[in-house]
Amino acid sequence: MPGATIGVFGSGQLGRMLGLAARPLGYRFAVFAPDAEHSPAGDVADWVVQAEYADLAAVRRFARAIDVATFEFENVAADVAAAATAVGTPVRPGGHVLHAAQNRLREKTFLAQNDLPVTPFWRVDSLADLTRGLETLGGPAVLKTAAFGYDGKGQAKIMQPAEAAQAWAEINQAPAILEAFVPFKQEVSVVAGRGLNGDLAHFGVIENIHENHILDLSIAPARVSDKVRQQAIALACDVLTKLEVVGVLCVEFFVTDDDQLLINELAPRPHNSGHLTIDACLTSQFELQLRTICGLPLGNTELLRPSVMANLLGDLWHSGEPKWETVLAEPNCKLHLYGKAAARPGRKMGHCTIVADESTAAVEPLMARLVQARARLPVA
């Protein structure tokens, strides 16, 4: 109940926004990470523990001082969840969810075994495996490291078999997964939550536009058919149920030209594409995360009005601090900055969200206004 202490492993912006969602409900908030001090999440926490995730003794001490633990990113060793659980602290989502989602091969295997639609894939542990995979799946294909990949990192596209050796070298010969390249017309996501009693809540289907493998714009509601919308929501809820998630999880999909859905990735946490829910929904993805891990009723997650979110990358700082009045002058636009110490090209420094005046408004004019406002941010 309110007054308890939420512990989060990870110190980035997702943890920060969870902490900010916890505050109005009276929860305390603690952060454990190697860089916890002076971090986006650490700056809003009641207290922090700065230690390596491999320091399981420190993990256990942290777990004893909190009431429930969660993660703000999935690239934390499953041993961390096991250590916290061992001292009696609930970890939500559980370590089994973390174990599946932090490795692309385990993730795809789980989905395939549960009859959930995925791209054809092949396990790769050697150049010989890669060669056989290309013979089986055909080309083009995408070689991805099995673990610790995000925003397009750890990937190499292979157009023809002769490129296999180069691609294998590009990922440093790490254990990998080869996926058949899927021609698709859209990328969409469904952010959903599942409570302790199995109740489910979702934010509908969100359309995502990427630039250089990094999310650029998210649009809600997604511009998809009713069939795609219903199927995406049903598949996402099926994933959460079969994976026995308690918490929030995002399912990312490819939409093919004939309106078929293929699951691309799972993220067992709030997701970049769901940031617009902070301003466009009564219950945001971060409050939903809080409610699910604390065993509270899930709340109303309905999208109140159409909304578009734009990421703010470090590139905008190339000539100094951006001109924030540019977006703040737009009356329907909300600015969110993550408090990161240094801006770097490609680094997510914040986001801005624009919300329509009416529930029936079209999203295209919103997109244009937001993109134009963002384009005026950099100092000349």
Residue ranges of E strands in the chain: 5-9, 28-33, 47-50, 68-71, 121-124, 141-145, 155-158, 176-180, 186-194, 200-202, 206-211, 214-220, 247-255, 261-267, 307-313, 333-337, 348-355
In a domain, 213, yes or no: yes
Tokens 């029936």 locate to 360
Strands 5-9 and 28-33: parallel
Q: What six digits make up the tokens of 380?
A: 């000349």
Q: Which of 180, 200, 218 is the last residue of a domain?
A: 180
Does residue 216 share a domain with residue 69? no
User: Which pair of tokens denotes residue 67?
Assistant: 């009431």
297-325 pLDDT tens trace: 999 999 999 999 999 999 999 999 999 99
Locate all alpha helices (DSSP H) within the chain, ordered by sequence: 13-22, 56-64, 78-86, 95-101, 104-113, 127-137, 164-170, 226-242, 277-280, 285-294, 325-328, 363-375
Residues 342 and 194 in one domain: yes
Q: What is the rounded distance in angstroms from the CA atom of residue 219 to the CA atom of residue 367?
A: 8
Contact 276, 206 (CB under 8 A): yes
Same domain, 82 and 209: no
The number of residues making up the chain comes to 380
Which CATH number covers residue 330? 3.30.470.20
> Which amino acid appears at position 215 of this protein?
L
Instruction: Please check whether residue 286 lies inside any domain of the structure.
Output: yes
Q: With respect to residue 30, please indicate whether it lies within any of the assigned structural domains.
A: yes
Contact 281, 305 (CB under 8 A): no
Q: Whole-model pTM?
A: 0.94
Residue ranges making up the domain that contains 214: 186-375
Both 220 and 361 in one domain: the answer is: yes
| pLDDT of 73 | 87
* pLDDT at site 154: 79
The last residue of one of the domains, among 145, 180, 215, is 180
200 shares a domain with 135: no
| Distance separating alpha carbons of residues 33 and 53, to the nearest angstrom | 7
Are residue 272 and residue 148 in the same domain, yes or no?
no
Q: At 27, which CATH number? A: 3.40.50.20
Cβ atoms 33, 42 nearer than 8 A: yes
**Looking at the structure, do residues 190 and 330 belong to the same domain, yes or no?**
yes
Cα 309 from Cα 320, distance rounded (Å)? 23
109 lies in some domain: no
Residue 67 located in a structural domain: yes
The CATH number for 144's domain is 3.30.1490.20
Domain count, the chain: 3
Same domain, 84 and 135: no
What φ, ψ does residue 148 adopt, rounded to 5°? 60, 50
Q: ∠ CA(154), CA(157), CA(161), 5° rounding? A: 125
Q: Which residues of the chain are under the pLDDT cut of 70?
A: 148-152
**Nearest by Cα to 314 from 227, 218, 214:** 214
Residues 353 and 210 in one domain: yes
User: Is position 97 within any domain?
Assistant: no
